[in-house]
Structure 1
């Protein structure tokens, strides 16, 4: 779905700082060196508790050890889930920790990677995580712009957007709202212009993105 970019300022660039959380000092230092060798900024933490004292919004991705003294990686991840954080989490697992990593994936982790690491593989996973974080950020910014545009509409225009997304024709909307079909058309075109929608189909997709109407369930084969 293409979301409008008009009538908005440029979104702020999301952070590309990588958080590295592992109780093994030698491994932390090795990961910091590796990531910074390819131009990535890192910040290392010796425990999950130390990481959680910071704002997760300041990071672009998280490299998180599964098994640590005190708060485990799974507990740190659950805390982020509870906070509805969108931070991509890459779980680092040792021998025998794969079942824990699978559990993390089911709970929304981006990826898991086994120790000892293949350096190139690790870098590629981190870069993919950063790319996804950037995509999520751009989508959040686009939704925010859509919400702002929708709020500028008159109440009747907002209702017409919803009715169009519900599949009603201009005549049906006119009868439902007690206005003429011509007035419905005028209001619909105003709404489309304000929302940056090129056509009615795009207006429907925008209404779904704003949760004004429920998305249609996928067609079963």
Structure 2
């Protein structure tokens, strides 16, 4: 077979394969992203760099305890969205004075970065709101609330519900207000014994489909090698 013909066949296989399995490629890319970050963190640790900035954060916490009112300090977390090594984000209900910001910046080492942001509520205030929702929803019989959690990034209590529709969303906001709460779609937990026969069959079919895909990938790989 001529070289150009081999190239044409190979490209055709790649195009068909890509169109057929776009979803799988997307998932694989996401997993690879997580894997890359894990590998980077291991690499930093091998170089003696702490990607979690533990010592720096401990010094900052001690400074905050000595210099800020508990009602002003909201929360602390590491943001890796813009920087893989992470940015230490400290939230306050009142913007700290420039002098105090500089004093906290002086606690950083060469690998750490810091960001200050103003939020509406302290973490403790959100925890108290979460406890209120939990007590009312999970302590008194049936509820369509599936979970609650404190989200320090959005500075709100996340309340998951199922079913998720205008009526159920409005019901939650009516009971707990919309200042500290954000309602999201949740999923009810399903025990294995409660799983219907149809769902089991469907899951088995998906598993078989996955095995079929693996066999197809292997066959195509061998075929392409034989072409070249």
TM-score, L = length of structure 2: 0.23
Larger radius of gyration: 2
Q: Which structure has more strand as a fraction of its residues?
A: 2
TM-score, L = length of structure 1: 0.24
